[in-house]
Amino acid sequence: MNDNRSGENNLKRGLNFIEAIVEEDLKEGKNGNRVHTRFPPEPNGYLHIGHAKAICLDFGIAERYGGKCNLRFDDTNPIKEETEYIESIREDIHWLGYDWEKREYYASDYFGQLYNFAVDLIRKGLAYVDDQSSDLIAEQKGTPTVPGIESPYRSRPAEENLSLFEKMNSGAFPEGSRVLRAKIDMASPNMHMRDPIIYRIIKHPHHRTGNRWHVYPMYDFAHGQCDYFEGITHSLCTLEFEVHRPLYNWFIDQLQTDDYRPRQIEFNRLNLNYTVLSKRKLLELVKEGKVNGWDDPRMPTLCGLRRRGYTPESIRNFVASIGYTKVEAINDVSLLEFAIREDLNKRAPRVMAVLNPLKVILTNYPEGKTEELETINNPEDESMGVRTIPFSKEIYIERDDFMEDPPKKYFRLAPGREVRLKSAYIIKCVDYKTDEQGNILEVYCTYDETTRSGGPDADRKVKGTLHWVSVLHALEAEIRLYDRLYSDPDPSGHRGKDPKTFLNPDSLKIITGYVEPGLKNSKPLDHFQFQRVGYFNLDPDSTPGRLIFNRTVPLRDTWSRGQASGT
């Protein structure tokens, strides 16, 4: 009853289950009322949108409860880790809007403490050196229903273990020849408790400690203890670590000197349809040239999303909208696209760009005349002001905004019909020209001078309004139309099939379009709404002589209506 009521109360206050636990702990005065979390990436790749879910939680909880959040690089495996990744991780967390101040730590900061702890366990008879191969050790682990087999080295005397472990570390033995194992329980129903390997020999130099160590702790032996060394109060991680928790607790039992211990709480991972979220698989895409690097705008990495035109706010809003639970689920990528549309609707100026041009000639417009017409930057936000765009006798409209023989409900341009040119005049189609195959080459219209803004017929209504650019003034631009990287909703969900089998062959289409001239002053990553087309941003590779725009998202969700999102 009581539980139920506090549950309802938490929901009302918008608390997720983790925040509710943290508040309970604070109410009970645990850990001297400290809240201290950490975000622990392994620097073996770039961060992706799944990591954003963890980052928003780790930093968000600290923010909400006046606590701290550490950045800790989990660099226990010297083979896969690189400083390039460390730098990108820092940049991406800052970009998302979070800061760890001076608290940047590395699992390798604790190699000494972890080594001493391992020596301690050996002395207490709680760890031993096993000379068997890792294959054999794996075989002896048993299955969840069949207990494991004890290693013949399990009862080695502590002195012998100590001397062997020291020799492992001094480089006396080859990789793979021996490991250090915790001595727990080979019959435990929890497989992780069956004498897990805690140290292995690796002779590859470490990016921070060089050749100082020849033994390296396993992730499971480092993670919980690093939390403990840093005074972490709430160690938040994804659900797959739930079964590791008893092991982490067992290590902390051996270390603990007072009441303090980190509390691990697991939550559901972020999974997205049409997307792969695994650093290993993303690295394959980069290495095999399936994409143009980690920051390719089709990648679900934070740097890829940034280059695509996603804002940190949109990612945080998306993460908040899906929430944190104990149940694994696959989220619809259209929710992410919804979040960026909603954000850019507020902040992106509306501009004119024609992606598939058709020339319209205004037969009654004076030759050589140019006008500067005023237009508002964003109807959602008047503070964004106004600008002018040049108008002249020849303009481009979108090819599919004209039809020779339109159906009844077509309200765009057609012979004899009128449309308004956005922020300009009403025009009427009087003629058009085709080639021998019947392709439309040019359209001829008259314009009505009285319909100009401020003119007597400025308010005259017609059914269609088209975007346009002046042929004389428009700038040519390379337009990169990105689409989903995979055409299958669950690319990793096919047994025995590489997700790369399901790459969408049309995930990038490059075309040449025309944009209004003011865009030559835009800066890398500036956002725009190309009116009636979609959201775009200026690619960082753009130069004044070669403008490049990336499509962030089309204006509407065309996928959910079962169509490919074309231009």
| 30 annotated active-site | no
| 461 annotated active-site | no
Out of 56, 193, 270, 481, point to the residue binding ligand ATP (CB under 6 A). Answer: 270
Separation of alpha carbons 310 and 530, rounded Å? 16
Q: Are 470 and 394 in contact (CB under 8 A)?
A: yes
Separation of alpha carbons 214 and 226, rounded Å? 20
Q: Which stretch binds ligand ATP (CB under 6 A): 275-283, 337-345, 355-363, 373-381?
A: 275-283
Query: Which of 34, 263, 269, 359 is flagged as catalytic?
Result: 269
The token pair at 83 is 């400083």
Q: Are 201 and 215 in contact (CB under 8 A)?
A: yes
Q: Is 497 left (phi over 0), alpha (psi -120 to 50) or beta?
A: beta
Buried b (16+ CB within 10 A) or exposed e, 196-224: bbbbbbbeeebbbbeeebbbbbbbbbbbb
The residue among 159 and 328 lying less far from ligand ATP, judged by its C-beta, is: 328
Phi, psi of 376 (to 5 degrees): -85, 150
Q: Are 54 and 39 in contact (CB under 8 A)?
A: yes
Out of 133, 155, 177, 278, point to the residue binding ligand ATP (CB under 6 A). Answer: 278
The residue among 268 and 334 lying less far from ligand ATP, judged by its C-beta, is: 268
The residue among 93 and 445 lying less far from ligand ATP, judged by its C-beta, is: 93
Over the window 96 to 125, marking each residue x when it contacts ligand ATP by CB under 6 A and - when it does not, the resulting string is ------------------------------
Rg (CA), the chain: 31
What SS3 state is found at 192? helix
Q: Which stretch binds ligand ATP (CB under 6 A): 100-108, 277-285, 286-294, 481-489?
A: 277-285
Site for ligand ATP in 10-69 (CB under 6 A): 40-42, 50-51, 53-54
Instruction: Report the 3 state secondary structure along 221-268.
Output: HHHHHHHHHHCCCEEEEEHHHHHHHHHHHHHHHHHCCCCCCCEEEEEC
Q: Please state the closest distance from residue 48 (CB atom) to ligand ATP, in A.
A: 6
Q: Please state the closest distance from residue 109 (CB atom) to ligand ATP, in A.
A: 17
Q: Please state the closest distance from residue 292 (CB atom) to ligand ATP, in A.
A: 20
Task: Give kind and range of the element (H or E) at residue 6.
Answer: helix 2-12
The token pair at 97 is 């809007």
Q: Please state the closest distance from residue 40 (CB atom) to ligand ATP, in A.
A: 5
How many CA atoms within 13 Å lie on the side-chain side of 516? 25
Q: Which stretch binds ligand ATP (CB under 6 A): 185-193, 270-278, 432-440, 482-490?
A: 270-278
Q: Please state the closest distance from residue 279 (CB atom) to ligand ATP, in A.
A: 4
The residue among 51 and 412 lying less far from ligand ATP, judged by its C-beta, is: 51
The residue among 238 and 504 lying less far from ligand ATP, judged by its C-beta, is: 238
- 245 binds ligand ATP per the rule CB under 6 A: no
Out of 34, 141, 167, 269, point to the residue binding ligand ATP (CB under 6 A). Answer: 269
Query: Which of 68, 72, 181, 279 is flagged as catalytic?
Result: 279
The residue among 50 and 499 lying less far from ligand ATP, judged by its C-beta, is: 50
The residue among 235 and 356 lying less far from ligand ATP, judged by its C-beta, is: 235
- 277 binds ligand ATP per the rule CB under 6 A: yes
Lateral strand order in the sheet of 357-362: 465-466, 418-421, 426-434, 440-448, 357-362, 394-398, 469-470
The residue among 36 and 420 lying less far from ligand ATP, judged by its C-beta, is: 36
Q: Please state the closest distance from residue 54 (CB atom) to ligand ATP, in A.
A: 4
- 286 binds ligand ATP per the rule CB under 6 A: no
Indicate the residue whose CB is closest to ligand ATP: 50
Which of 532, 209, 140 shows the shortest CA–CA distance to 354? 532
Q: Are 452 and 425 in contact (CB under 8 A)?
A: yes
- Residues 6+ positions from 478 with CB-CB distance below 8 Å: 510, 511, 512, 546, 547, 548, 549
Q: Which stretch binds ligand ATP (CB under 6 A): 163-171, 244-252, 271-279, 431-439?
A: 271-279
| 42 annotated active-site | yes
The residue among 237 and 533 lying less far from ligand ATP, judged by its C-beta, is: 237
Out of 156, 183, 279, 467, point to the residue binding ligand ATP (CB under 6 A). Answer: 279
Q: Please state the closest distance from residue 249 (CB atom) to ligand ATP, in A.
A: 18
- Residues 6+ positions from 11 with CB-CB distance below 8 Å: none
Out of 22, 121, 218, 237, point to the residue binding ligand ATP (CB under 6 A). Answer: 237
Query: Which of 23, 42, 284, 313 is flagged as catalytic?
Result: 42
Number of residues that bind ligand ATP (CB under 6 A): 14
Q: Please state the closest distance from residue 266 (CB atom) to ligand ATP, in A.
A: 9
Out of 238, 292, 392, 487, point to the residue binding ligand ATP (CB under 6 A). Answer: 238
Q: Are 273 and 332 in contact (CB under 8 A)?
A: yes
Separation of alpha carbons 88 and 45, rounded Å? 9
Separation of alpha carbons 457 and 401, rounded Å? 23
The residue among 42 and 150 lying less far from ligand ATP, judged by its C-beta, is: 42
Separation of alpha carbons 19 and 227, rounded Å? 19
For the chain, counts of helices (H) and of strands (E):
13, 25
Q: Please state the closest distance from residue 166 (CB atom) to ligand ATP, in A.
A: 30
Give the residues lining the site for ligand ATP (CB under 6 A): 40-42, 50-51, 53-54, 237-238, 269-270, 277-279
Instruction: Cite the active site residues.
Output: 42, 269, 279
